[in-house]
Amino acid sequence: QLQLQESGPGLVKPSETLSLTCTVSGGSINRDRYYWGWIRQPPGKGLEWIGNIYYSGSIYYNPSHKSRVTISVDTSRTQFSLKLSSVTAADTAVYYCARVTYDSGSFLFDYWGQGTLVTVSS
């Protein structure tokens, strides 16, 4: 059974860089058709897509965050990571990692991590 687990600091200071890692177990990160993505959810609000990465390094970013976001993949460790720079309180959210299937021209999120709350505060 595929499992994903987010890890990283739960508290980040304003203007600093948020860094999270997602560890994939129970399956390979190097499979065709599958991307690996990040989604966030501010407290009490809806879901917001951040970006997807393929094991080869091909990346799709949400244009709203593209200037601050870096997503990378480490296939040897079956991990992928998120970095979000110059954070503000508006970046406080539960951050989810997910497996993303590319099918018929669309992305769908079929396996999710449990999510990790990141609070931006001094």
Partner 1 sequence: SYELTQPPSVSVSPGQTARITCSADALPKQFAYWYQQKPGQAPVMVIYKDSERPSGIPERFSGSSSGTTVTLTISGVQAEDEADYYCQSADSSGTVVFGGGTKLTVL
Give residues in contact with partner 1 (CB under 8 A).
39, 46-49, 52, 60, 62-64, 96, 103-110, 112-115
- DSSP assignment of 25-85, as one string? ESS-S--TTEEEEEEEE-TTS--EEEEEEETTS-EEE-TTTTTTEEEEEEGGGTEEEEEE-
* Shortest distance (Å) from residue 86 CB to partner 1: 21
* Shortest distance (Å) from residue 101 CB to partner 1: 9
* Shortest distance (Å) from residue 44 CB to partner 1: 10
Specify the residue, 70 or 102, whose C-beta has the smaller distance to partner 1.
102
Strand partners, 13: none
